Amino acid sequence: MEPTRIGRYVIERLLGKGAMGVVYLARDPVIGRRVALKTLKPPTDAEEAEEFRQRFLREAQAAGILNHPGIVTVHDAGVDEATGLSYIAMEFIEGKSLRELMKSGHPFAYSDIARIGAALASGLDYAHSKGVVHRDIKPANIIITPQGSAKITDFGIARLESSNLTTAGQFIGTPNYMSPEQVTGAKVDGRSDLFSLGVVLFELLTGTRPFAGESLTEVTYKIVHEPAPIPSQLRPGVPPSFNPIILKMLEKDPEQRYARGAEVARALDVLRRILLGVGSGNATQLTLAATQAPTVTEAESMTGVPTATRATAVERAEPPQPSVWRLPITPRWVAISLAAVVLPPAVAIGLLSASVDRGPYRGPEPGEASRRHAVVAAQRKAAAALAAGNAGEAERLLAPVWDQAPHSPVARRLQVAAQQLRQQQEAALARNASAQRLLNEGKELLREGNWRAAQARFEGVLEILPDDPLAREYLELARERARLPRGRTEQRAVGFQTPTPTAAPVGEARIEIYFNSPLSAGVVELEDAGKVLLKKPFDFSTKGFLGVRRRATGIFQDAITLPAGTRTLTVRLRGAEGGLLGEEAIPVDVTGGGRYLLKIEMDNERAVPRFGLTSVRGRS
């Protein structure tokens, strides 16, 4: 006799029975909500029954935190004191299980299979993010509503009902949807549910399971050791675009599968949109027929007998051809002559026509060629942006590529190169800014007579830019002043007062040019009253991926000699294309035997260059 009440719930009718319990349609008298009330029979042993109830409550509490459109909500759980039954109250969904639809031969369009798979993967991703793993994803635990929405049920119950091993080490239920780590007893996480979902989608696409066998041993061996078949090769007409997604979900090693359900949902949603581009009137549908046997026993379920075995096919009958002998021709020899002339070519043409394969042939989907061209064009533009040293533009161009070609190795390598270039540029700018700040602090301390502190600042500059000649000269001056008594200090630093020559200028002076360039390439020019003293190009770019030139920064150094006297030096900096970036005329009294430092400074490649000429006199 069926109970009329379990816990506080009033039983309305029976929904179904299983190996471990019964499902009722019940009503909560407190708020009037209708629920699906599932009861579970505890073990007969008292100690095992208590452990079962405690684990049941823990699993129900974990499932109760889940609130997602793709998951059947758990409202309540408890133990009925009158009957001793453990029960769980779940959201009541009007609809049928996916297993029932597959057995009844319900047709699914390929775009619907992608949509259902994406919805299930999204629900699993949400559950995994909450630390809940289902462990028993199969068609019987997936409900399809009359509106076509897919929901996963039995969260929190699957682990109790389908724990896969009894105390004697035997399987409970079918192992066809189990992951390799479940079969071998290894650690199970959310990627195990994605493997089981891959088996469900494989069966929807092909009408058979990927790891079928004649015995339990054969099925479990194939799950652990044999690769899954390719869906489109197993069943003609299956879009090949499903192959990489399904096969990645069915990888033996969890590390080789999708890491999260969100990645599966995203891939299937993109595929759904591509399939819908064909047009609803021409969308190929997959019809799943019921099995021929009246019942399917548990032993047959373990052997992997598929729930759908064939697709419907339509044959077109040719109308009968009229006989030549019934034509209204009286002379017999005319008919024989016509038959001798007409019939052999007609038969040959008919045989040739029958041997021609008329398809259907699945060519590229509409828009596929333009999509691929767009992906390749974006990758080429990103490579050009990298060659020009514009890492941000390269990353922006690669962003839409991930939606269309998420596994493109070319896009991945370009992304890595762009990130490395951006990091290098940011690091170079930070180093230059830090060095300039220390140099300015050292100059100020040198003017104030704080030699020790100035020395520390210049040493810091050289740690960042070891080849900076100006910082080296300042460091030597600071060290010299630190060694001299206070009364003997004499300003002879770069940028300080230089003695006016008392005699006519004689001899030559050395002018050193130094440029810590943020530019990848350019030209430095130096003239004296229209006479070209120096015109030297520089190029710090390197050969990178696919042979393109990668931008880089570097230090430009050179030196010239100049006769003593009053001069007006004109210094120019041009870009890689020859455009003028900056120019300045610098008057200077050149002293014979002296040294001068011409320094070009730019904060970044878009800044206006600054030019400075300072005397670096030899010390006695």
Q: Which of 203, 304, 187, 198 is nearest to 251 (CA)?
A: 198
**Interior CA angle at 294 toward 198 and 170, to 5°?**
55
3-class secondary-structure state, position 355: helix
- Catalytic residue of the set 136, 154, 468, 528: 136
Phi, psi dihedral angles at 569 (to 5 degrees): -90, 130
Q: How many CB atoms lie within 10 A of CB 555?
A: 15
Report how far Cα 408 is from the mean position of its chain's Cα atoms.
10
The most distant pair of C-alpha atoms in the chain lies apart, rounded to whole Å, by 144
CA dihedral 472, 478, 484, 488 (to 10 degrees): 110
Can you read off the two tokens belonging to residue 358? 């008329």
In the chain, the amino acid numbered 217 is T
CA dihedral 435, 437, 443, 446 (to 10 degrees): -90
**267-301: buried (b, 16+ CB within 10 Å) or exposed (e) per residue?**
bbbbbbebbbebeeeeeeebebbeeeeeeeeeeee
> Cα–Cα distance between 216 and 193 in angstroms, integer?
21
Q: Which of 439, 445, 494 is nearest to 461 (CA)?
A: 439
- Sequence-distant (6+) residues with CB within 8 A of 318 are none
Check if 136 is active-site: yes
Question: Would you say 249 and 267 are in contact if contact means Cβ atoms under 8 Å apart?
Answer: no
Sign, CA dihedral 569-573-577-579, equals negative
H/E stretch holding 285: strand 285-287
> Cα–Cα distance between 552 and 544 in angstroms, integer?
11
**Interior CA angle at 141 toward 140 and 145, to 5°?**
90
> Cα–Cα distance between 115 and 610 in angstroms, integer?
61
Burial of 312 (0-12, 13-18, 19+ CB in 10 A): exposed
Taking each helix axis from N to C terminus, what angle separates 242-249 and 190-206, rounded to the nearest 10 degrees? 140
List strand residue ranges (DSSP E) for 2-73, in order: 5-6, 9-17, 22-27, 34-40
> Cα–Cα distance between 127 and 125 in angstroms, integer?
6
3-class secondary-structure state, position 589: strand
- Active site residues per annotation: 136
